[in-house]
Amino acid sequence: MMRVSLGAVRSRKVTQRSSGVDDCIGGQLAALGLNEWQERRIIQAAKLSAQHSRERYVMVRADTAAVSWDEQRKRWVIRLRVGEEVIKRPAPNVARDANDEVLHSTAVRIANDEGYELDPADVTVMR
C-alpha cells in the first residue's frame, strides 16, 4: 500500500491557484497544516477584504450642523442636517466651556463617523 502525503498535495493546490491573493496567502496556509476547507475559507475572506479595500466610498455631504448645550443631559448635542433629515447625536467627553474650535472639530468627526462629509465652516455653535 502506497502512502501519499497530504502536505504535498495541499501545497501543489495552493501554488496552482491563479489569484495574487491566493499565492501570497496560500504558502503561509500550507505551513499551518490546515485542511483544504479551512484554506478555502481563509483565502475567500482575504479576497473579499482585498476587493472591499479597492472600492471607493462616496460620503454624503451634510448641509449644516448645529452644536448646542443640552441643560437636561449636561452635554453638547450635535444636529446634522442632510436635506430634510436631521440626525441628533451627543458629543461625549466635551466640557461645557469648550471653545468653538473644539466643538467644530467634534461635529466634523461625529459627522464622519456617521458617514457624512461636513465642512467645518457649515457648523454653528449656539451657546
Could you tell me the residue range of the domain that residue 64 belongs to? Answer: 60-126
Q: Which three cell numbers stand for residue 32?
A: 499551518
Does 84 fall in a domain? yes
Is the full-model pTM beyond 0.85?
no
**Closest alpha carbon to 64 in 125, 118, 126, 127:** 118
pLDDT along the chain (127 residues), means of 10: 42 44 56 71 75 64 96 96 95 93 96 93 95
Predicted local distance difference test score (pLDDT) of residue 23: 55
pLDDT of residue 119: 94
Based on the fold, state whether residues 44 and 96 are members of the same structural domain: no
Residue 57 is predicted with a pLDDT of 63
Same domain? For 69 and 111 the reply is yes
User: C-alpha angle with apex 54: 106 to 59, nearest 5 degrees?
Assistant: 35
Task: Give the pLDDT score at 92.
Answer: 86
- N-term to C-term CA, the chain: 86
The predicted structure's pLDDT at residue 9: 41
> Do residues 49 and 67 both lie within one domain?
no
Q: Where are the alpha helices (DSSP H) in the chain?
A: 6-16, 20-32, 36-54, 100-113
Domain count, the chain: 2
Q: Which residue has the cell 461625549?
A: 92
1, part of any domain: no
Closest Cα to residue 38, out of 10, 18, 16?
A: 10
- Distance, in Å, from the CA atom of 108 to the CA atom of 101, rounded to the nearest integer, reads 11
